[in-house]
């Protein structure tokens, strides 16, 4: 790990809600102390926010979430070191309000977040694997016109390398910035009249857990391509001849 680090402050959100177990986040925050170390828990499968990071006290009680931050979420996903501590508890009843048992303002919590660099010994091999995938895809792209068969082989090689990298776990998936070249390889297969192969490779991708994903335009393109390929192979010789 290098010496790089970044520190910033942020206010916890969602502090007035109750947790799934019924516990009151306001009560939990009222018992927290300035300087207390806080755990940040990445929730990749959160249906409301793909960048969700839960804020959890040392004893395991959730007090809310960090504001959605794709850069911080990506940093955590890629193995970057992140720490957090409480620097201020705000709100709550005043002395007079406590005397008359009034609720007062809602409690809030301000954190100091420190981001530190990645462990290069761990991530460098992943970066190199991703770079190799990009090189293979570049080679495939350069052969699309002059040698489509070679381009298909190289794209398949890249896809095999992607599967290998992804199989190494969530950290490896996070470091794969190269997209699955399903749009390019299926395009060439269609152009070459290899309709069944085109259908098969798109069907494979539909079942593949691609964490990185593809742009909507690429998804639309391969779905339309699959529909065309299915229509092509369903045309009987007699019907084709009649046309």
The predicted structure's pLDDT at residue 94:
63
Q: Are 218 and 141 found together in one domain?
A: yes
Q: What is the DSSP string of 14-70?
A: -TTSBPTTS-BHHHHHHT--TT-EEEEEE-TT-SS-TT-EEEE-TTS-EEEEPPP-H
Q: Which of 10, 180, 184, 16 is nearest to 92 (CA)?
A: 16
Measured distance CA(138)–CA(145) in Å, rounded: 13
Q: Are 127 and 213 found together in one domain?
A: yes
Q: Are 77 and 98 found together in one domain?
A: yes
The predicted structure's pLDDT at residue 239:
44
Q: In this structure, what token pair is assigned to residue 134? A: 């990009």
| Single residue among 84, 118, 152 that ends a domain in this structure | 118
Q: In this structure, what token pair is assigned to residue 133? A: 């995938």
Q: Are 193 and 224 found together in one domain?
A: yes
Q: What CA–CA distances, in Å, run from 204 to 208, 220, 231? A: 6, 16, 19
Boundaries of domain holding 176:
121-242
The predicted structure's pLDDT at residue 99:
59
Question: Does residue 143 contact residue 150 with C-beta atoms inside 8 Å?
Answer: yes
Measured distance CA(38)–CA(110) in Å, rounded: 11
Domain count, the chain: 2
| Single residue among 98, 118, 138 that ends a domain in this structure | 118
Measured distance CA(11)–CA(2) in Å, rounded: 28
Per-residue pLDDT in tens (0 to 9) along the chain, 243 residues: 456 899 999 999 999 999 999 999 999 999 999 999 999 999 999 999 999 999 999 889 999 999 999 999 999 999 999 999 999 999 876 655 565 565 668 899 999 999 999 998 999 999 999 999 999 999 999 999 999 999 999 999 999 999 999 999 999 999 999 999 999 999 999 999 999 999 999 999 999 999 899 999 999 999 999 999 999 998 755 444 343
CATH number at residue 99: 3.30.70.2330
């Amino acid at each position: 790990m290098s010496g790089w680090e970044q520190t910033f402050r942020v206010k916890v959100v969602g502090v007035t809600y109750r947790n799934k177990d019924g516990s009151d986040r306001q009560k939990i925050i009222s018992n927290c102390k300035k300087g207390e170390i806080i755990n940040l828990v990445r929730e990749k499968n959160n249906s409301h926010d793909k960048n969700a990071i839960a804020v959890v006290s040392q004893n395991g009680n959730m007090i809310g979430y960090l504001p959605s931050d794709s850069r911080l979420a990506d940093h955590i996903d890629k193995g970057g070191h992140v720490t957090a501590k409480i620097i201020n508890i705000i709100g709550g009843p005043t002395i007079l309000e406590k005397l008359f048992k009034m609720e007062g303002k809602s409690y809030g919590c301000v954190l100091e977040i420190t981001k530190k660099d990645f462990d290069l010994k761990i991530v460098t091999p992943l970066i190199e694997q991703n770079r190799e995938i990009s090189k293979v895809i570049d080679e495939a792209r350069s052969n699309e016109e002059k040698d489509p068969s070679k381009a298909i082989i190289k794209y398949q090689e890249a896809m095999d390398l992607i599967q290998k990298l992804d199989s190494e776990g969530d950290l490896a998936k996070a470091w794969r910035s190269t997209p699955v070249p399903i749009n390019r390889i299926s395009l060439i297969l269609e152009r070459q009249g290899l309709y069944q192969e085109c259908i098969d490779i798109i069907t494979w991708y539909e079942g593949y857990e691609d964490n990185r994903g593809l742009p909507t335009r690429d998804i639309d393109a391969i779905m339309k391509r699959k529909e065309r390929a299915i229509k092509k192979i369903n045309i009987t010789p007699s019907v084709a001849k009649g046309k």
